[in-house]
């Protein structure tokens, strides 16, 4: 239950760090801790005491780091503690214990006033139920967070129009939410959350209320926006395939605990618990394993002109390798050659993955 995989990403700057966060609901949640960080016993025995006394552990000893510019997905079934975690990070709910470090400072130490400023200027939030103001137009809804910041009308409308165009809603500025489809309403929600140019973008099941086809479009849209904007993102979903599609890294939660943290291919290829393995069982490996995962090192002789990005999935890679026995160079964003993929490496990786899946 308490398998705490390494919470630290491979490299790069950390934007937010959650350290041993507990959120306990019930009569006397504070009674389990001597002070806010005064954890006095092993997490598992503390948890047993919490449950025995009729309290709910909505988040239990949760630790992870979110790197600048990454899409960090928290995935879990309903009631697993995802919304609790995202609310703890933004302090919309007060953690019972633990620390939230943002840009090096403890967010739980700042005053209510500073906190409001941080939320207004640094955080953008998107919710499952859109949360739009029904009697305001698209333009007014999107400009609203800027109005709260007291940005002058002309300036805020200019900025709002910019993000409305970014999400593809130009022409609908004067519409009211009820005149829009679910997908369009969520585009308004996304535009509004981006209007303040947040440093951290929280999305709590933003596409869960949408039809599968629209959901797919919105996922693509979201990835397109992230390629443009490079935000630091905490994205919540209960949909494992959505998590695999969108995540740089995934944290899988169950009953308030983190089961595993890893890249999509880590999680699928090396599930840390039986629970994670159940999710991964039916996932087609070709959609998960990437060129970067299987690149074999080569000394020289690669044609950097014939290259693929390390995030290319095997599904995307296979047609490009047809008739290319010499393979393709795997070249990362900075132009570094990571190695080579060939039809042979792909087939052998898939065979290995299938063999693992059967055991
Ligand atoms: N205000 C609250 N009071 C009591 N229990 C709560 C409260 N909010 C959430 N919970 C409980 O905490 C657990 C986690 O809830 P939540 O974070 O909303 O899960 P998720 O977003 O993964 O569906 C659930 O058992 C839920 O019933
Ligand atoms: Mg939720």
Residue nearest (by alpha carbon) to ligand 1 atom 24? 79
Which of 83, 87, 15 lies closest to 232, judged by CA? 15
* Same structural domain, 301 and 173: no
Nearest bound ligand to the CA of residue 57: 1
In terms of residue numbers, what domain contains 292? 286-358
Q: Judge if 261 and 312 occupy the same domain.
A: no
Closest CA to 97 of 4, 16, 24, 43: 24
Q: Which of 18, 21, 79 is the pocket-test mutation for ligand 1 (most atoms within 8 Å of CB)? A: 79
Region of residue 67 (left: phi > 0; alpha: psi -120 to 50; beta: else): beta
Q: Are strands 200-204 and 123-127 parallel, antiparallel or unpaired?
A: parallel
In this prediction the pTM is 0.86
Residue 36: what pLDDT? Answer: 56
| Whether residues 243 and 302 fall in one domain | no
Q: How far is CA 40 from CA 34, 47, 60, in A?
A: 7, 12, 14
- Nearest 5°: CA angle at 202, between 57 and 192? 140
- Evaluate: CB of 84 within 6 angstroms of ligand 1: yes
Cβ of 74 below 6 Å from ligand 1: no
Same domain, 218 and 307: no
Q: Which of 26-35, 181-190, 226-235, 262-271 has the lowest mean pLDDT?
A: 26-35
Confirm if 199 and 232 have CB atoms less than 8 A apart: yes
Q: What is the pLDDT of residue 202?
A: 97
Verify whether ligand 1 is closer than 6 Å to residue 59 (CB atom): no
Dihedral of CA atoms 146, 147, 152, 156 in degrees, nearest 10, equals: 40
Average pLDDT, rounded, for the chain: 90
- Residue 302 structure tokens: 């690669």
For residues 45 and 159, which has the higher predicted lDDT (pLDDT)?
159
Q: Is the C-beta atom of 25 inside 6 A of ligand 1? A: yes
Consecutive H or E run containing 141: helix 138-148
Q: Closest Cα to residue 22, out of 93, 79, 106?
A: 93
Q: Ligand 1 in contact with 79 (CB < 6 A)?
A: yes
Residue 272 lies in a domain: yes
CATH number of 46's domain: 3.40.50.300
CA 206 to ligand 1 centroid distance, Å: 18
Residue whose Cα lies nearest atom 25 of ligand 1: it is 79
Whether 310 and 295 have beta carbons less than 8 Å apart is answered as yes
Angstrom distance (rounded) from CA 20 to CA 124: 24
For residue 249, give the H/E element and its range.
strand 249-254
Tokens of 248: 């740089």
* One domain, residues 326 and 191: no
Atom of ligand 1 nearest to the CA of 253: 22
Q: Is 259 inside any structural domain?
A: yes
Which of 229, 255, 283 finishes a domain? 283
Distance of CA 290 to the CA centre of its chain: 19
Residue 252: nearest ligand to its CA? 1
Residue 8 lies in a domain: no
Q: How confident is the model at residue 38 (pLDDT cuts 50, 70, 90)?
A: low
Q: Give how many domains the chain has, as a whole number.
A: 2
Cα–Cα nearest to 15, from 104, 99, 87: 104
CATH number at residue 328: 3.90.1280.20
Q: Which of 335, 354, 336, 357 is nearest to 346 (CA)?
A: 354
Looking at the predicted structure, is the pLDDT value of residue 220 above 60? yes
Nearest ligand atom owner, CA of 208? 2
pLDDT at position 347 over 80: yes
């Amino acid at each position: 239950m308490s398998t705490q995989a390494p919470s630290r990403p491979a490299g790069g700057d950390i934007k937010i760090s959650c350290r041993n966060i507990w959120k306990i609901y019930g009569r006397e949640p504070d009674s389990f801790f001597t002070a806010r960080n005064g954890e006095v016993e092993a997490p598992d025995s503390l948890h047993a005491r919490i449950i025995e006394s009729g309290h709910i552990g909505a988040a239990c000893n949760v630790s992870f780091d979110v790197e600048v510019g990454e899409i960090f997905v928290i995935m879990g079934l309903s009631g697993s503690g995802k919304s609790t975690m995202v609310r703890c990070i933004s302090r919309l709910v007060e953690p019972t214990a633990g620390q939230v470090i943002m840009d090096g400072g403890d967010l739980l130490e700042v005053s209510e006033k500073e906190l409001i400023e941080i939320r207004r200027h640094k955080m953008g939030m998107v919710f499952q139920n859109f949360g739009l103001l029904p009697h305001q137009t698209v333009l007014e809804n999107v400009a609203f967070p800027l109005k709260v910041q007291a940005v002058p009308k002309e300036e805020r409308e200019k900025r709002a129009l910019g993000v409305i165009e970014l999400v593809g809603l130009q022409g609908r500025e004067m519409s009211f939410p009820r005149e829009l489809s679910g997908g369009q309403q969520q585009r308004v929600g996304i535009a509004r959350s981006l209007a303040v140019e947040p440093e951290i973008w929280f999305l709590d099941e933003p596409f869960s209320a949408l039809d599968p086809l629209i959901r797919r479009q919105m996922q693509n849209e979201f990835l397109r926006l992230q390629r443009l904007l490079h935000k630091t993102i905490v994205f919540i979903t209960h949909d494992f395939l959505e998590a695999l599609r969108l995540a740089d890294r995934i944290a899988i939660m169950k009953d308030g605990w983190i089961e595993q943290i890893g890249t999509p291919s880590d999680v699928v290829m090396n599930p840390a618990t039986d629970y994670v393995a159940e999710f991964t069982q039916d996932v087609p490996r070709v959609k998960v394993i990437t060129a970067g995962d299987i690149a074999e090192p080569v000394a020289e002789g690669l044609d950097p002109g014939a290259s693929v990005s390390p995030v290319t999935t095997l599904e995307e890679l296979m047609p490009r390798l047809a008739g290319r026995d010499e393979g393709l160079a795997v070249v990362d964003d900075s132009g570094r050659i990571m190695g080579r993929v060939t039809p042979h490496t792909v087939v052998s990786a898939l065979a290995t993955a299938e063999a693992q899946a059967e055991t």
